[in-house]
Structure 1
Amino acid sequence: MTIVSANARKKTHLISGAVLGTFVLLHFFNHSLGLVSIDAMEAGRRMFNLVWHSVPGTILLYGALLAHFVMALDSLYRRQTLRMPAGEALKIIFGLSLPFLLVPHVVAARVEPLLSGIDASYPGILRVLWSSSANTARQTVALVFVWSHACLGAWFWMRGRDWFPRYEFLLYTVALLVPIFALLGFVNGARSLGRDYAEHGGYGDSAYVSQQRRVDPGLMEDIRRTFYGGFAALIAGTFALRALPVRGRIRVRYPDGRIAAVSSGFSVLEASRAAGISHVAVCGGRGRCSTCRVRVIQGLEGQPAPDAAERATLTRIGAPDNVRLACQFRPVHDISVVPILDTDSLGIKTQIARQNGGGRERRVAVLFCDLRDFTRIAEHRLPYDTVFLLNRYFEMVGEAVESAGGVIDKFIGNGALSIFGLKTPLQEACRQALTATVRLSAGIRALNETFADELDQPLRLAIGLHAGPAIIGEMGYGQATSLTAVGDTINTASRLEGLAKEHDAELAVSAELVQNAGLSLEGHRRLDIGLRGRQATLETWILGSAAEISEVLPA
C-alpha cells in the first residue's frame, strides 16, 4: 500500500534538493572568498550562519537533508532494476557516497562546536583540513561529489523545460566555475593561515589546540562511527529489502518476440531495462516527457489507471487510451506492448565517405525534399517528441538516399539536400536519384503507419529533382567546413521542390533529369515553368505520388 503518492514523493525530493542546492551554492561562494582573504571568508561565514545556523534555518536545512536522503532510499527501493543510463547511475553513486564523505566535516563544523561551546571558524577548520593530505583529499573529493550530484539532479529537472536551451550555456558555465572558485578559495585560504594569522597569535597553534582539548577526541570518533554505521545500515537495509522475494510475476511481451518476466510492481520501462531491451527515456524515467511511451496491444483491461502526472503528459500529446508512459505504468498482469519511439531514431546513420569530392565542377543529380506543414504539426507536440519524430524522418531520408548511391549534403530545417553522381556517371546518378525518390515515398508512408495514432494529419513530402553542372568542394570555416555543392543546378532543384508544394504534388522532376536517366514519363502532367535569371522555360514533370516513378524504373 502506498501511503504517500508518487507525485508527493517527487515534489518532496525536488523541493528538498532545491533547498540543499541553495545551501551548497552559498557555502561554495563562501569558500571562494578565500581568494580575497581569511577575513572575507569569516565575514561571509557570519552572514551565512545568520540564516543557516538559526533555528528556522537549521530545521529547514536538516529537514531537507533527511527528506532528500529518505526519498533517495525510497526511490532506490522502488527501482525494480539497477540497469539504467550512466547519468542516472552516477547521480545515485554520488548521492550514496556523500554521507560518508561529509560526516567528518559536519561533525567538526556542527557537532563539536555544539558540545564545546566554541564556534567553528574558517581558520580552525582550514587548519585541520590542510594539516593532513588525507583530510585535504577527502574535502576535495567531497566538494566535487556534492556539486556533481547537485548538477546532475538539476540537469535532469531542467533539460525538459522550454527555457533551458536559452540559458544552457550560462548554466553550464556556472556549473564549471563554482567548484573551481570554491577549491581555489579553500587552497588559498589554507595557505594564508600561517602568513596572516599565526604571526599575530589570532589563530595560533596553541590557541587552536587548547580549544580542541575541550572535547574528548574519543567521543568525537565514536560520534563519527555512529554516523557512518547509521548511514551504512540504512543503505544496506534498502538493498536487503530489494532482495526480498516479491509475490506475483508478470510477463511483458515486445513486438520482436522478446519477453521480460518480472515481479509485480515493475514499470514497463524497468521491465525493458531488466531484460536488456533498449527503451528510450530522455527524462530518466520521471514522467516529464513522453519518449518512453508504449502502445498496449493486449492486456490493457484491468490495469491501473494513469496517475495525475502521467495523465497530464498523455493529454498534452493527445495520446489515445491504449498509450501509456512506460516509466509510470506498472501492470498487474501480462501485457503486450509496442514502444513507439525506439533507440534507432535517436540519430542519423553515418554517411558514406566523401573522397575526391572537392574543388571541381561535376555534372550531378540533385534531390531536394521537405516535410509539408510540419510547423503546424510540431505546435501540438512536446519538444522531445518533435525531436524524435524529426530524427526518425531524417534517418529515413538518409537511408533512402545512401542505399540508392547518393550522399546527404545537408539538412535544412526539416528539409534535406542530397547529391548523386560524385563517383558515378550522370546517367547512373539520375537513376539513383529517381530510385531514392521512390524509397522516400515508401518511407514516408511507413512513418505515417508507425505514428498513425500520434499524428493529427499524415506527414507529406515535397520533392524536387534536377540534374546539371555544380561546383563540388569543401566549403565553410573551421569546424563548420564540409563537402557541399553550389550552382544553378542546386537552386533549380530547390525551386522544383517549391513547385511540388504549389501544385499539391509529391514530386516535381525536370525533364532533363528524366531524359538523362533514359526514361520517359509520358502520360503524367507536364509543365513549362519560368525560372529567375533564365529566358528559356524548364520542362517539368509533376507527379502526385513519387511512387509512380517505380513504373518506369528498370527492375
Structure 2
Amino acid sequence: MATAAASISELVRGTSVRQVRLVCGVILFCYVISHFLNHALGNISVEAMEAGVYYHTVFWQFLPVSIVFYTAALTHMGLGIYALYQRRQFRWRTIEPLQLVLGLSIPALIMGHVVGVRLGYTLYDHQKLYPQELYLFFVAAPGRLWQMTILLLIAWVHGCIGIYFWLRLKPFFTRAAPYLLAAAVLVPTLSLLGIYQGGRSVAIEADDGEWRTHNLTRRQVGTVAEGNTLDRITGAFTVTYFGLLGLALAARGVRAWRERRGGMIALSYGNGKTVRVPKGLSVLEASLRHNLPHASVCGGRARCSTCRIRVIGDHGVLPEPSQREAFVLTRVGTNDPSIRLACQLRPTSDLSFFQLFTPQTSSANAQASAPARIGQERYLVSLFVDMRGSTQLAEKRLPFDTVFIVNRFLGAVSQAVIENGGQPNQFVGDGMLALFGLTADPQTACRQALKAASGIATHIDELNELLSHDLRQPIRFGIGIHGGEVIIGDIGYRDHIVFTALGDAVNVAARLQDMTKTLACEAIVSDEIRGTAGLADDTLPQQEVAIRGRDEPMAVRVVADARGLTALVDRSERVAA
C-alpha cells in the first residue's frame, strides 16, 4: 500500500497543467474525428449520415463516456482561459498564440449548436438529426452554414496543432508525418463535401410538402417559443463566456498594475548583464522580455531542466519551489537549494545567478531547427563492442596498416549492426556503440541486438579468414548488451555536435563489454535483454556480477560463443508464434 501511495503521489507531482490540457484535448479531438467521419457519410447519402450518427451517439452518450467527455470539454475550456491569463510572453513560437486564439474562439462559435441540439433534446425532447440541421443550414438560415464551416475548420486546425506539438518529439513522428498530413487534409475535406452533398439532397427534397410534414414536426424542430428560449439561453452562455474572457484580460491588467506598483527588481546574470523587471516575472520570462539568450528546450513548461540556474548569495529568501519544479529537480538528482528552474522561479527581490547550460542559440526565443533531435527519453538497447589486442596489433605494424585493420574491423561490426536494424552511433578508438530501438519496439530491439552480436561474430570470422596471411593471431572482440530508458539527442558544441544516447543503460552496456575480458567470453547480455527478447530462462547461463556505480549485483547472461544467438532468437520467435 505504501509503495502504491508513493507511486500515485509521484504521478500527481509529475503531472503538469499542460499534460491535463493535452489529455482533455485528445479526448475532444477523438470526438471531432468521429463527428467529421460521420459528416463524410453525406457523400453517400443522408440516410448513411443518419445511420452513422446512431452509432456515434450510442458511444458518446453512454453515461461513463459522456461524463468523461463533458468533463474534458469544461476542463479544456477552463484551462484555455487560464492560459490566456497565465502566459506573459508569446514569443517562443508564432503558432502558440494562434492555437490559443483558435481554441478560445471555439466555445463562442459552437454555443448555439450545442444548445440547439443537446439542450433542446434535454429540455424539450427535440429529435434534431441531420435532415433538420441540414435544412436549417441550406434552406431556413443559409448564413449559419458559413459559421458552421468556419467552426469546423477552426476546431480541426486547433486540434491538429495540438497533436503536432504532442507528437513532434516522438521517435516515430518523422515516418508518420506524411500519413498524418494526408489525414489532416482528407478528413475535413471529405467532411465538408459530405455536408455539402447532404445539404443539396435535403434542399431538393424540402420542396416536397410531404418531406416537410415528416421531417419538420414539433418533436423534431420544436415551436417558435421553444426556439426563442433556446436562443436566450445561447445568448446568456455566450455573454457569460465572453465575460470570463474579459475577466481573464482584466486580471492580466490588474496583475501588471500590481507588479508595477510592487516595484522593480534587478536580475544580474553571470556575464555581467543586469536587467530590471517587475516583481512576479519568472527568470526565464525576464530573459525573453529582454531578448537575452537562455536555454529552454521545452519552452518554459517545466518539462526539462535546461533552464536551470545557480543562485549566487542567500537563496533562503527565494520562494519555495512549486510542486512541479520540485519534481523536476528531484528527477534530475539536484538537492542543492541554490539550483532552481528559471521558468518557475519568480523572485521578489534582487537576484544574482548564472546559467548552468549555456544556450547555443543567438536569442532567447530561438528554437532548434530540428525538433526531432532535441533530447528525448525513451527505451533503447545499447550494444558496445571492442576489439581485443589492438595495442599488440599496432606494436609491429606501420600506423596506416593498423588503421586499415581497425577500419575493416569496425566496418564488419557496422555491417552486422545495420543488417539487423541497428544504428552505429559512436566510434571510440577500436570500439563502437550501436543503438537499437530508434524505430522499433523494445522486444524487437532486444532481438535485433542479439542477432547483431551473432552477425558480428560471423563477420569477424570472415575478416580473420581474409586477413589470415597478415595476422599472427585472429581478431578477437567483446560485446556488452543492455537496455533501458536513456536520453537521446544532439550532444556537442557548434560544429562538433553528434546524435547519441546518454544514461545508465549505456554505461552498463560499456561495463558489461569490459567484463568479457575477465569472464573469458565473447558477449555478456543483461537479463533485462534476455527477458524482453522472450528467450527462455534456461537458454543462457546466468551469473550475478557487480557493476561499478551500482549498489546491488546485476543478473547477466554469459555468452561464450555469440554465433549461436541468432538460433536462440529464432527459436523463441517460433515458440511465441
TM-score range, shorter chain: 0.5 to 0.7
Kept in 2, the 8 Å contact 1:42–1:121? The answer is yes
Correspondence 1:341 to 2:376: no
Given candidates 55, 58, 61, the residue that maps to 2:66 is 58
Over aligned residue pairs, what C-alpha RMSD do you find?
A: 3.8
What code does the residue aligned with 2:146 have?
A
SS at match of 1:24: helix
CA drift of 1:163 comes to 4.0
Correspondence 1:152 to 2:168: no
Q: How does 1:117-128 map to 2 (within 5 A)?
A: 117-128=125-136
Which residue pairs with 1:502 in the alignment? none
Which residue pairs with 1:243 in the alignment? 253
Given candidates 365, 387, 393, the residue that maps to 2:494 is 393
Worse-superposed segment, 110-119 or 145-154: 110-119
CA drift of 1:93 comes to 0.6
Worse-superposed segment, 151-160 or 224-233: 151-160
Kept in 2, the 8 Å contact 1:108–1:125? The answer is no
Which residue pairs with 1:21 in the alignment? 29
Worse-superposed segment, 85-94 or 132-141: 132-141
SS at match of 1:204: helix
Which residue pairs with 1:268 in the alignment? 283
What code does the residue aligned with 1:34 have?
G
Which residue pairs with 1:113 in the alignment? 121
What code does the residue aligned with 2:131 have?
P
Q: 1:148 to 1:29 in 2, by over 3 A?
A: same
Correspondence 1:182 to 2:191: yes
What code does the residue aligned with 2:350 have?
D
What code does the residue aligned with 2:127 have?
D
Kept in 1, the 8 Å contact 2:295–2:358? The answer is no
Correspondence 1:330 to 2:346: yes
What code does the residue aligned with 1:192 have?
S
> What's the TM-score once normalised by structure 2's chain length?
0.56
Aligned mates of 2:80, 2:45 — CA distance in 1: 38
Correspondence 1:193 to 2:208: no
Aligned mates of 2:302, 2:266 — CA distance in 1: 22
Which residue pairs with 1:426 in the alignment? none
Which residue pairs with 2:242 in the alignment? 232
Kept in 1, the 8 Å contact 2:50–2:129? The answer is yes
Kept in 2, the 8 Å contact 1:316–1:381? The answer is no
What code does the residue aligned with 2:190 have?
F
Aligned mates of 1:325, 1:174 — CA distance in 2: 39
Count of residue correspondences: 371
CA drift of 1:168 comes to 3.1
Kept in 2, the 8 Å contact 1:33–1:185? The answer is yes
CA drift of 1:331 comes to 3.4
Which residue pairs with 2:150 in the alignment? 141
Gaps of 5+ in 1: 349-369, 398-410, 416-455, 457-555
Kept in 2, the 8 Å contact 1:294–1:325? The answer is yes
What code does the residue aligned with 1:286 have?
R
Which residue pairs with 2:387 in the alignment? none
Q: How does 1:19-98 map to 2 (within 5 A)?
A: 19-98=27-106
Correspondence 1:286 to 2:301: yes
Q: Summarize deviations over 1:201-230 as a string: whole Å, max 9, x none.
A: 674378427553524233232112111101
Q: Summarize deviations over 1:343-370 as a string: whole Å, max 9, x none.
A: 238679xxxxxxxxxxxxxxxxxxxxx9
Aligned mates of 1:135, 1:260 — CA distance in 2: 52
Q: Summarize deviations over 1:306-337 as a string: whole Å, max 9, x none.
A: 55654665566677946544323333443333
SS at match of 2:494: helix
Which residue pairs with 2:233 in the alignment? 223
Kept in 2, the 8 Å contact 1:292–1:326? The answer is yes
Q: Summarize deviations over 1:480-513 as a string: whole Å, max 9, x none.
A: xxxxxxxxxxxxxxxxxxxxxxxxxxxxxxxxxx
CA drift of 1:281 comes to 3.9
SS at match of 1:228: helix
Worse-superposed segment, 316-325 or 235-244: 316-325
Aligned mates of 2:326, 2:174 — CA distance in 1: 26
SS at match of 2:84: helix
Q: 1:43 to 1:213 in 2, by over 3 A?
A: closer
Which residue pairs with 1:432 in the alignment? none
Aligned mates of 1:160, 1:227 — CA distance in 2: 38
Aligned mates of 1:235, 1:377 — CA distance in 2: 53
Q: 1:334 to 1:70 in 2, by over 3 A?
A: same
What code does the residue aligned with 2:154 have?
F
What code does the residue aligned with 1:253 have?
S
Q: 1:238 to 1:155 in 2, by over 3 A?
A: same
SS at match of 1:343: coil
Aligned mates of 2:264, 2:298 — CA distance in 1: 27
Worse-superposed segment, 259-268 or 233-242: 259-268
SS at match of 1:7: coil
CA drift of 1:89 comes to 0.6
Percent of counterpart pairs with the same letter? 32
Kept in 1, the 8 Å contact 2:266–2:276? The answer is yes
CA drift of 1:258 comes to 4.4
What code does the residue aligned with 1:156 have?
F
CA drift of 1:98 comes to 0.9
Q: 1:253 to 1:34 in 2, by over 3 A?
A: farther
CA drift of 1:108 comes to 2.1
Q: 1:313 to 1:180 in 2, by over 3 A?
A: farther
CA drift of 1:145 comes to 1.1
CA drift of 1:82 comes to 4.8
Aligned mates of 2:428, 2:312 — CA distance in 1: 30
What code does the residue aligned with 2:102 have?
F
What code does the residue aligned with 2:290 have?
A
Aligned mates of 1:259, 1:76 — CA distance in 2: 29
What code does the residue aligned with 1:267 have?
S
Q: 1:346 to 1:91 in 2, by over 3 A?
A: closer
CA drift of 1:95 comes to 1.2
Aligned mates of 1:301, 1:371 — CA distance in 2: 44
Q: 1:183 to 1:316 in 2, by over 3 A?
A: same
Q: 1:152 to 1:333 in 2, by over 3 A?
A: farther
Q: 1:115 to 1:226 in 2, by over 3 A?
A: same
Aligned mates of 1:337, 1:377 — CA distance in 2: 36
CA drift of 1:86 comes to 1.0
Q: 1:300 to 1:47 in 2, by over 3 A?
A: same
Aligned mates of 1:188, 1:284 — CA distance in 2: 44
Kept in 2, the 8 Å contact 1:160–1:288? The answer is no
Aligned mates of 1:186, 1:284 — CA distance in 2: 39
